[in-house]
Amino acid sequence: MSSSHQRATAALIGFSLVVAAWWVFVGPGRAPEDPVSGDATVGWVVTHIVDGDTLDVTRDGVTERVRVIGIDTPERGECGYREATDALATLVDGRAVTLVEGATTDRDAYDRLLRYVEVDGQDVGLEQITSGYAIAHYDSRTGQPHPREDEYRAADDAAQDFCAAG
């Protein structure tokens, strides 16, 4: 076999290996994996606090805006906005968090992920409620039931509202 024939055969084999690897790992028509589905709940790091119930998280080069389900906090310009935002930052900013599904839909109208957020096993939304910075919301009273609704409502009933307190 001539050296040019050997080079051509080696090139064909190399090309075949590349195509085979592509087929196994990517495949034609295969959609890229959703970075937030399946066991994609852990390993997210909080990179930005938007307000008392919304934050940005990043993992493996993917950034998602997350709306914490089950709570509602004051909007910009309302009493308690800064305090609720600061409280969320104290709990999670720069930390690794777990995102837990629980809403009836995956995303809201603003394309934010709807998730419970936990840090070191602590339910961040519940902490915002018990601290008086959030109210229980997005539950059966508003047509958006969620699995932790009863616990959130009980905490809401027991908490003193930050703005009403003083």
- HSE-CB at 133 with a 13 A cutoff on CA atoms is 20
**What average pLDDT does the structure give for the chain?**
78
Residue 130: domain span: 44-165
Residues 8 and 48 in one domain: no
Residues 64, 26 share a domain: no
Q: Is the pLDDT of residue 62 over 70?
A: yes
Alpha helix segments (H runs only) across the chain? 3-25, 81-92, 124-130, 149-158, 162-165
128 is written with which tokens? 């915002």
Distance CA 125, CA 122 (A): 9
Residue 20 lies in a domain: yes
Q: Which residues contact 22 (CB under 8 A, 6 or more apart)?
A: none
pLDDT level of residue 137 (50, 70, 90 thresholds):
confident
* Residue 69 placed within a domain: yes
- Calculate mean pLDDT across residues 26-54: 68
> Is pTM, for the whole model, over 0.75?
no
Residues 20, 5 contacting (CB under 8 angstroms): no
In this predicted structure, what is the pLDDT of residue 87? Answer: 97
Whether residues 25 and 84 share a domain: the answer is no
> Are residues 19 and 100 part of one domain?
no
Cα–Cα–Cα angle for 30, 32, 38, nearest 5°?
Answer: 110
